[in-house]
Amino acid sequence: MNIFDILLNSIKLIFSFDPLLFEIILLSFKVSFTALIISSFFAIILSYILALYNFFLKNIIIIIFNSLMGIPPVVVGIIVYFLVAKGGLLGVFNLLYSPTAMIIAQIIIIFPIVVSLSHQVFFQSWKQFKDQFQAFNLPFSGVLVILIRNNYFVILTILLSAFGRAISEVGAVMIVGGNIDHYTRVMTTAITLETRMGNLEYAMALGIILIFLTTIISGIVYLFNYKKR
């Protein structure tokens, strides 16, 4: 079977709305979106604190988060594995080879990205409007809301980029999720497995959907950046 036949069969598989295929897609969205919501909530607050306040070791913390933006996902997978495995810090909760362990891994992967990029946004806005904020004596939450509203295009761009990183990740979720059918199998791990098994149509179908999703995310990011400019 040549590449064109495989591609044609993959497209047919997508439009046949195969239940197993879309089960994998929905789980991928569930895991990555949950990780994004949790990580972005705490990351935005932390980046806001780093931007506005001076304290001991602040610069070292910023350097660490900037460095962790490029942390290899497999390293994160190993770290989370030891955390949730029996005998680990979270071993009592039996989280290994579960969607929860995958969410934890993706949180660790995207948390430094959101912190580092959001910190730069908040820091620049704080420098620009610091006098006005101090003149009105706005509370902690009030300044945060204003900064987010003033930079919501950029913040959304950061969050979309983080989501794209999470949903396309394979190493960490393979290690801590185990790629269990109907339970922890997401798009990236399913593509790896189906390719090894020779089920190229299924792997190609998932690959097409993943490329389509990342393209949409990239397009939205571009439009947000264009709108901001």
pLDDT of res. 213: 85
pLDDT of res. 45: 94
Output Rg (C-alpha) for the chain, integer angstroms: 20
pLDDT band (50, 70, 90) for residue 228: low
Q: Is the pLDDT of residue 37 over 90?
A: yes
- Mean pLDDT calculated for residue range 82-100: 92
pLDDT of res. 77: 95
As a residue count, the chain comes to: 229
- Mean pLDDT calculated for residue range 181-192: 92
pLDDT of res. 1: 60
Can you list the pairs that 89-98 forms with residues at least 24 positions away whose Cβ atoms lie under 8 Å? Answer: 96/176, 96/178, 97/176, 97/177, 97/178, 97/180, 97/183, 97/184, 98/177, 98/183, 98/184
Q: Is the pLDDT of residue 59 over 80?
A: yes
User: Rounded distance, CA 212 to CA 149, Å?
Assistant: 30
More confident residue, 197 or 108: 108
pLDDT of res. 229: 60
Q: What are phi and psi of 137, to 5 degrees?
A: 55, 50
pTM: 0.90
Helix-helix angle 200-228:3-15, to 10 degrees: 70
Q: Which domains does the chain have, with CATH numbers?
A: 3-228 (1.10.3720.10)
What is the per-residue pLDDT across 127-156, written as a single tens digit (0 to 9) for each? 888 888 777 777 878 888 888 888 888 898
